[in-house]
Structure 1
Amino acid sequence: MATEQELSDFLKNVEKRAFKRSLYHVRNEEAALDIVQDSMMKLAEHYGDKPANELPMLFQRILSNCTLDWFRRQKRHHALFSDLSDFDSGGDDAEGFDLLETWSDSDPDQRVHSAEDMAQRSETLHGIEQEIKALPARQREAFLMRYWEEMDVAETAAAMGCSEGSVKTHCFRAIQALSKALRAKGIKP
């Protein structure tokens, strides 16, 4: 059983990545924040008594379900109300977030040494983020879980509710699409 402190530490650790993942899906900052908060509340309410090692997979599954619920609510809302002007695709809502948050500025060998290097790095990261946003939803979800959340194939399959083969296919297609798009932009993946 996870202690209250373990649950709290887990939620603090996963908060930023979960927000970024939700933002990639819904492209609306407020909605992404609501989805993450709702997911955290559901995890604490319904699964806080589970072992700490089960929390990551449970949370990813809850986050996926909350995101799907958000899309269903949006679809119902838009079916009832013909005015779609309230629907925000979120264009630049992702500004200020770094896709490679794990990159460490504390390592002197990896520090950016000039304004030109910094501009190049910023342009590359922006290109990567734009291409990730453009991926089909299931490919994006599998890609982010596997390579950003660092979940293994079995955990990703369980969180997405699909087979391990489907996860591998989604990831392969996502990597192929990202590589092709980045090469077309002159960015070497």
Structure 2
Amino acid sequence: MPTQRDFDKQYLSMNHFLADIEGRAFRMAQIATGNRDDALEIVQETMMKLVQKYSHHQATEWKGLFYSILNSRILDWHRRQSVRNRFRSWLNWSDDNNDEIEDALAQHPSNSNYEPDAKLQDAQFMTGLTTALGALPLRQQQVFLLRVWEGFDINDTAQIMQCSSSSVKTHYARALEKLREQLEDHQ
């Protein structure tokens, strides 16, 4: 039977895990939604769901579970947006509150030894990458971010996204091709 000490240890471990993952998850959600507030809400919902439903699982399982929940939340957001956009178009409403996408990727650590030209080139590349990632179809975007940013292998990515390994390979290859085309000026 678990003791209070076991619960405290699990609680601290979960807090550390969430603190470690929140920045990357936020960037993924922001790229997927193009909206800071929606991204924050999605990440918060994902964290709550993980704690409520899966905190009793082994800590080694949390990362895969977290990204599976995050992926579901992002897909749900896109479905809701699709319905809202349909209603707006039927009613001829416009969204006057189009927020600009912040450069979420530009928050990478900078090296003070860089020359100004190198810093400018890095900033331009990161802006281009953010734009190119945002333009990818959602499945390609999510596969790319899970594989490259989070380091999941093909099978784990397939499990998180609830699709086949061959589908992950296809989406990843297409994402790389499109990103290379979009970013060829930055080589």
Q: What TM-score range do you get, normalising by the shorter chain?
A: 0.7 to 0.9
Q: Is the 8 A contact 1:112 1:118 kept in 2?
A: no
- How many Å separate the matches in 2 of 1:87 and 1:156? 37
- Structure 1: how far apart are the matches of 2:168 and 2:110? 29
Number of residue equivalences: 178
Aligned-residue identity in percent: 33
Q: Which amino acid aligns with 1:45?
A: Q
Tell me the TM-score normalised to structure 1 length: 0.85
Q: Please say which structure displays the higher CA radius of gyration.
A: 2
8 A Cα contact 1:157 1:163, kept in partner: yes
**Aligned partner letter, 1:28:** N
TM alignment of 1:124-163, pairs within 5 A: 124-163=125-164
Q: Report the Cα distance in structure 2 between the residues aligned to 1:164 and 1:100, rounded to whole angstroms.
A: 32
Bigger drift between 42-51 and 122-131 goes to 122-131
Distance 1:137 1:169 in 2: 13
**Structure 2 residue identity aligned to 1:163:** S
Choose which of 71, 94, 102 in structure 2 pairs with 1:94: 102
- In 1: Cα distance, 2:11 partner to 2:96 partner: 38
Aligned counterparts of 2:83 and 2:24: Cα–Cα separation in 1: 28
Paired residue secondary structure (2:20): helix
Name 1:108's counterpart in structure 2.
Answer: none
Mapped contact 2:47–2:66 kept (Cα < 8 A): yes
1:52-86 deviations in Å (ceiling 9; x for gaps): 01001100010011112222223333444535423
Q: Are positions 1:123 and 2:132 aligned together?
A: no
Answer whether contact 1:146 1:156 (CA < 8 A) is retained: yes
Instruction: Give the Å deviation of 1:181.
Output: 1.7
2:61 paired residue among 34, 49, 54: 54
Relative to structure 1, is the Cα distance of residues 83 and 28 closer, same or farther in structure 2, using a 3 angstrom cutoff?
farther
Q: Which residue of 1 aligns with 2:3?
A: none
Rounded to whole Å, the distance in 2 between the matches of 1:21 and 1:52 is 22
TM norm structure 2: 0.86
Q: What 5-or-longer segments of structure 2 have no aligned partner?
A: 1-5
State the secondary structure of the residue aligned to 1:86. Answer: coil
SS for the counterpart of 2:171 is: helix
Judged with a 3 Å threshold, the aligned counterparts in structure 2 of structure 1 residues 134 and 77 are, in CA distance, closer, same or farther, namely closer
Q: 2:35 aligns with which of 28, 31, 44?
A: 28
Aligned equivalents of 2:79, 2:96: Cα separation in 1: 13
> Would the aligned equivalents of 2:106 and 2:123 in 1 still touch at CA under 8 Å?
no
